[in-house]
Amino acid sequence: MIEIGGLSKIFPARGKDAPVQAIQGLDLTVKDGEFLTVLGPSGCGKTTLLRIVAGLEPWDAGTIRIDGRDLRGPGPDRAMVFQSFALMPWATILSNVAFGLELRGVGKAEREARAIELIEMVGLTGFERRLPLDLSGGMQQRVGLARALAVDPEILLMDEPFGALDEQTRRLLQEELLVIWEQTRKTVIFITHSMEEAVLLGDRVVLMSPRPGRIVDIVEVPLERPRASAVDSIEGSAEFAAITSDLWRRLREMQTFRRHQHSKTVSAA
């Protein structure tokens, strides 16, 4: 379980730019085995939140505990999947997937056997000896997912992993991710800009405010699981449409209100 209380993060001033309050007073609990999606306007602190939980970013106030232990930095219980793939371009797909295991001192035969299992799981059998540049964007993201799973983390942190992909590839990988999650039941925090993606994948959707990021609401997704084999019927359902429509309405209202407030401030100045 991940417990976040009163989390705040300020990026210090740079040159003539003022300090930026990215997150303010954020409280959140993520249950074991939950698939939690996080949705909010651009710049609301979603990625900052994920990087803090990953141990890659310090914070200024608040507490973060994982299974009752204070967070003190990166750890083997967490793995991150980035939007930018972040693969080693000079290394084979097999080596990329096995990299985390190599860092942990796992022997070559064992780590390669595990990597081959995961390469098969993500549908890339036959590409073990290829380089990342030989693969499409969608295939590279499959490698990134396999690499994260190779170290068997308890928590998978995913920062808009499908955001840079074309719509067809994105939909295929959403279905693949559902299959993998249904097999492994990892705790997942998944950042997205897509209402449809947030609802299709998530048990709950966290709705964040414009900067400074706070939690406006947490929306339960009552769609039945497993979902991987029923994506078309789920996306065509009235319930799915109602949830995504409500999320979009609330996001639009938040951003419209912010623009109006900004216009008033500029006019007053």
**What's this model's pTM, rounded to 2 decimal places?**
0.91
pLDDT, average across residues 168-186: 91
Q: Residues 6 or more apart from 213 whose CB is under 8 A from it?
A: 22, 23, 24, 26, 40, 44, 45, 46, 48, 49
Share of the chain above pLDDT 70, in %: 95
What is the pLDDT, as a whole number, of residue 83? 82
Examine the pLDDT at 177 and tell me if it is beyond 50.
Answer: yes
The residue with tokens 């299959």 is 179
Q: Which residues sit opposite 158 in a β-bridge?
A: 81, 190
What is the pLDDT, as a whole number, of residue 266? 43
Q: What is the pLDDT of residues 188-229, one digit of tens each?
A: 999 999 999 999 999 999 999 999 999 999 999 999 999 988
Strand order in the sheet with 69-70: 20-30, 2-11, 61-66, 69-70
The closest of 104, 105, 126, 107 to 116, measured between CA atoms, is 126
Domains of the chain, each with CATH number or no CATH: 31-53+68-256 (3.40.50.300)
Which of 2-6, 83-87, 204-208, 231-235 has the least mean pLDDT?
Answer: 83-87
Examine the pLDDT at 255 and tell me if it is beyond 80.
Answer: no
What is the pLDDT, as a whole number, of residue 229? 87
What is the pLDDT, as a whole number, of residue 197? 96
Q: Mapping DSSP to helix (H, G, I), strand (E, B) and coil, where does residue 61 land?
A: strand
Q: What is the pLDDT of residues 55-92, one digit of tens each?
A: 999 999 999 999 999 999 999 999 999 888 788 999 99
Backbone angles phi, psi at 118, to 5 degrees: -75, -35
pLDDT, average across residues 12-19: 84
pLDDT, average across residues 251-260: 74
Mean pLDDT over all residues of the chain? 91
pLDDT, average across residues 44-49: 94
Q: What does DSSP assign to residue 14?
A: B
Examine the pLDDT at 259 and tell me if it is beyond 70.
Answer: no
